[in-house]
Amino acid sequence: MLNFPAPLRPGDLIAVTAPSSGVPAPLHARLDLVIAHLRAQGYRVIEGACLRAEHKDASAPAAERAAELMRFLTDPSVAAVLPPWGGELATELLDRLDFEALRGLPPKWLLGFSDLSTLQLPLALCSGWASAHGANLMDLVPSQTDPLTTQVMAVLAADWREPVLQRPGPLYQGRWGDFAARPDVPLLLSEPVAWQRLDGGTAR
């Protein structure tokens, strides 16, 4: 059975750590912007030591990343963990995280996609924690226009007494913006969204 975290509320503490890829110096302005945006929404934010660096595709050595993530996941004062994005090396943490110990603790939100799925799956299967497979923190700039991205924090704040409706926008991103040149760049929505049947059929 999956256990869902408590809804996020203004005043809650959000921890930002990078269990996979970190944020190199040229992108710190982007990171500062998204963290300031969280604070503007009323959340408190704590940064981990495994965040503002990138060496060999990771924010820090695996043991340090795992220890910091476990510290935030087990800290009762932390309501959610929002990594900046995915990467390639979250798999290095799997045998260093105590998923059984987490099973006995109240769950908290872990938000993101890509390499973060490597952590979200065992959190569900081994710890019984629901997590949020959605926009990464580095996409949550104030200038963002994609509706599926802009409402991700509202999903984490939902109390589940009413259905949570998520709707795709009419366009998706065909290429990445340059976060270093323009820290506030939103998703570059240029390609039309189209539903396709995997069996090749045409009926709706």
Fold observed for domain 13-192:
Rossmann fold (3.40.50)
Q: pTM score > 0.85 for this model?
A: yes
Residue 203: pLDDT band by 50, 70, 90 thresholds?
Answer: low
pLDDT value for 48: 98
Task: Note the maximum CA span of the chain.
Answer: 52
pLDDT value for 107: 97
Q: CA-to-CA distance for 197 and 193, rounded, in angstroms?
A: 13
Q: CA-to-CA distance for 102 and 56, rounded, in angstroms?
A: 29
> Is the distance from CB of 83 to CB of 136 less than 8 angstroms?
yes
Interval 130-140: pLDDT, tens: 999 999 999 99
Interval 29-58: pLDDT, tens: 999 999 999 999 999 999 999 999 999 999
pLDDT value for 204: 63
Instruction: Please state the domain extents for the chain.
Output: 13-192
CA angle 157, 160, 162 (to 5 degrees): 110
Q: CA-to-CA distance for 80 and 148, rounded, in angstroms?
A: 19
Other beta carbons within 10 angstroms of residue 169's beta carbon come to: 14
For the cut 90, the answer to whether the pLDDT of residue 194 exceeds it is no
